[in-house]
Each structure stands twice: as C-alpha cells, then as structure tokens.
Amino acid sequence: MPDHFFAVIMAGGGGTRLWPVSRHKNPKQLIQLFGDRSLFQIAVSRLEGFIPFEHTYVVTTAEQVEMLRAQEQKIPVRNFLIEPKPRGTAAVVAMAAAAINKIDPAGVIAVLTADHLIENISGFQQNLSAACEVANQGLIATMGIKPTFPSTGYGYIESGSEIGVFSGIKAFQVKRFIEKPPESLARDLFKQENITWNAGMFIWTAETARRELERHAPVLGDFVTRIAAAEDVTRVVAERYAALPQISIDFALMEKVERSYNVEATF
C-alpha cells in the first residue's frame, strides 16, 4: 500500500442503539460481540499488513481512550486523538484531517468505523486500494454496500454513471445521498440496481478534505487550517473544538460536494 495512506478509526460513540448490551461505560466498540475480540480490535486487525500501525489513528473521547489503548497497544499513543467534547462526525473528521495534513499533506485518509463486522478482509482491502486510487485524483470516494433487505436503519447512496475501474472495482458518480428512509421508500430503494447502503466510510486526501471543508463548512475548514499552522496543536483543539458545529460529516460535507464517487463494495 502507498506510504501516504492513513486510516482514521472513529471510536468515540456511546453505542446507545445497542443498550442495554452497550452502556456508557462499556460502549459497543469495546464489547466482544463476535468471538474473543472487541469490535475495535476487529476494526484494527483488518488493516494489519495493509496500513502500518504508525499510520493508523483513532479518534475517541477522554473517558474511552485508556480502555481503547489497553485493547490495542500496537497503535502509538500519539495516534489517539481525543475529542474534548462530542461534536459529531464532522468535527472528528476535521480534527483527524488536520492532524494528518500537518505531517503529510499528500496523505490519503480512509475514515472508517469501529463498529463494523467484515469477514472478507482481502475484499475490503481491495476496496480500500480502489478508493485510494480515486482519492489520489483529488476526488472523494465512498463505499456503498449492496442492500440485502429494505432497511430503515441505514442511509443510502444513489449512483449515476460509471467513471472507471480501479484495482479491478467499478466506481460510480454519486447522484445523491438518501437519509434513513421510511419503510415504503426503503422497499422502493431495495428494488433499484443503482442503490447501495451508505457504509459511512470516506476516502480522500488530507488536502482535499481541507479544501472541501473550507468551501462547504468554513468553521471546520478554518479549524483544520489553524491546526496545520499551529505549533501547539493541543491548545488550538482545547480552545476551538467545543465551538465547532455539532453535525455529521454527511450533512456538513458529503451531501454538498460536487464530485464524490461510490466504490461499490465487493466484500
């Protein structure tokens, strides 16, 4: 994999939708739901041999960081980025993009989650390779999963024309993102060939993330720029993070960008 490829694992959620199995002091990413490893450990392991541990970042809360570090000690301590206050995934992405932009402006960032179970690891890594190729063209890549039932619990992606084949996988222009639909719409979407579930994974270069945030979410874009220029990053985060808008990356950015592309999952 290219030396400039980085992974950012979002692992700060409270896991409220899995209550009472998942609780505030023991959220879902820390729980062993499948075998003897937690969801977080599984998320890290599927990157092993593909993205170096030194290039794997974890964004989490202060109260969870020690538990996550105890579960995965191969990731350097400095790569755990702490949210001073939960502000949604847009702020998480901005902080991670700023940190990576500071050390490698040419870096390609794969924003991933800590609560997926993916059994086809080689297929997943092939998809990441394809998305990396797309991102290196200055574009934003997403991953869409072919629906297996008309779910009301997932967002959807409507794909347009094919733009090419990358690492053996087709990529399509994103026509629109569809929020979690009511049951009747979910049934209609399920029947359409150009519809996939939104996996919540996004791949872009650090520079593309900065540029698009400046364009579509200026407060977040300014936050990235200030961190990239700061000598004392901790101070900038402490002073400005709580004032960032509380919004998801889907609403803040993905639904607004002009050029995003769906790498349809083969895993």
Nearest to 250, CA basis, from 191, 197, 207, 189:
197
Evaluate if residue 102 carries a pLDDT over 50.
yes
pLDDT, residue 23, reads 52
- Predicted confidence (pLDDT) per residue in 193-217, tens digit: 999 999 999 999 988 998 999 999 9
Q: Could you give the CA distance from residue 257 to residue 112 in angstroms, rounded to a whole number?
A: 19
CA distances from 12 to 36, 43, 102, 105, 164 (A): 21, 14, 22, 25, 35
Tell whether the model's pLDDT for residue 104 goes beyond 80: yes
CA distance 189 to 169: 23
Q: In the prediction, which pLDDT does 15 show? A: 54
Sign of CA dihedral 28, 30, 35, 37: positive
Q: What value does the mean pLDDT take over residues 141-162?
A: 95
Contact in structure between 140 and 202 (CB atoms under 8 Å): yes
Decide: 79 and 181 in contact? Cβ < 8 Å.
Answer: no
Bridge partners (DSSP) of residue 112 are 9
Confidence class for position 161, pLDDT limits 50, 70, 90? very high
| Mean pLDDT of the region 160-179 | 94
pTM: 0.89
Q: Which residues fall within 8 angstroms of residue 128, CB to CB, at 6 or more apart?
A: 1, 5, 50, 110, 203
Parallel, antiparallel, or unpaired for β 169-178 and 108-113?
A: unpaired
Predicted confidence (pLDDT) per residue in 107-138, tens digit: 999 999 888 889 999 999 999 999 999 999 99
* pLDDT of 22 over the 50 cut: no
User: Whole-angstrom Cα distance, residue 267 to residue 73?
Assistant: 27
Looking at the predicted structure, is the pLDDT value of residue 227 above 90?
no
The amino acid present at 119, given as its one-letter code, is E
Note the helical H segments in the chain: 39-45, 62-71, 89-103, 121-135, 183-190, 206-216, 218-229, 233-240, 249
